[in-house]
Structure 1
């Protein structure tokens, strides 16, 4: 039987509120040692903030003060269900040139899967290609 996302994902990721300031979001990232935080607005998933979002979209504004998660978050995120096969998730991540896949079920965040979590054959090379493309602006999460 093929591996599925719920078997390899990091469950129950820490999240932020859309109104959290970037300093709060970045402190959560540091405490949890992550570079990707789901954002909630009115008790619903609204997007994610990545470490790159903070730097490129937040600090580029001149200061992190008075900048909220909603000001820099990426809203249209690629997601997969917990029962998605790992190979399918890897193809989806490569297709969209992303490093992390938000695992959702019934509009709830269940976890996060990275290329490394997927155990993708040639994961280092694949991650390198994704990172290269992301850094060129072809993706943002």
Structure 2
């Protein structure tokens, strides 16, 4: 099965100059824990509810902090024509629960989550992915020390 068959489409984006309060409001409206960050027509980062909590609030930063200051600028992604099995393994290896989905022109076309993959009748494989993701480490790990 291809990622395009299970991904969530109609993704809302945020700009790096917007505030973390803007991001939190959008996440609340969308009931989402992650938002892609775009600059012009390029995907330049990702911001999560965890970034807002750990990289901003816990460090005493205010609601007017620009998204750029706390977002993850190393964007990990998959392609819409990738096989879901390979993406599940990759998510476990890189320890993420969601990935932006790009087309081959490198334009954002969706987001795929473990939930999307689980609904696609692959729940048994999701357990293995979740076990890999749950190991200590990864981009948003507290064991890697604070980001500056």
Residue in 1 that maps onto 2:114: 115
Residue in 2 that maps onto 1:92: 90
- Is 2:66 the partner of 1:68? yes
Structure 1 SS opposite 2:37: strand
1:126 shift after superposition = 3.6
Structure 1 SS opposite 2:17: coil
Structure 2 SS opposite 1:16: coil
2:7 touches 2:113 (CA, 8 Å); kept in 1?
yes
Higher strand share: 1
Give the distance between the partners of 1:8 and 1:64, measured in 2 at CA. 37
1:116 shift after superposition = 2.0
**TM-score computed with the length of structure 1 as normaliser:** 0.87
Structure 2 residues not aligned, in runs of 5+: 142-148
1:49 touches 1:72 (CA, 8 Å); kept in 2?
yes
1:117 shift after superposition = 1.0
- Is 2:52 the partner of 1:54? yes
1:4 touches 1:83 (CA, 8 Å); kept in 2?
yes
Give the distance between the partners of 1:33 and 1:83, measured in 2 at CA. 26
1:13 shift after superposition = 1.0
Structure 1 residues not aligned, in runs of 5+: none
Q: Which of 37, 46, 52 is the matching residue for 1:39?
A: 37
Give the distance between the partners of 1:79 and 1:91, measured in 2 at CA. 13
- Is 2:130 the partner of 1:127? yes
Matches within 5 A, 1:11-26: 11-26=9-24
**TM-score computed with the length of structure 2 as normaliser:** 0.83
2:95 touches 2:137 (CA, 8 Å); kept in 1?
no
- Is 2:140 the partner of 1:140? yes
1:18 touches 1:41 (CA, 8 Å); kept in 2?
yes
2:47 touches 2:71 (CA, 8 Å); kept in 1?
yes
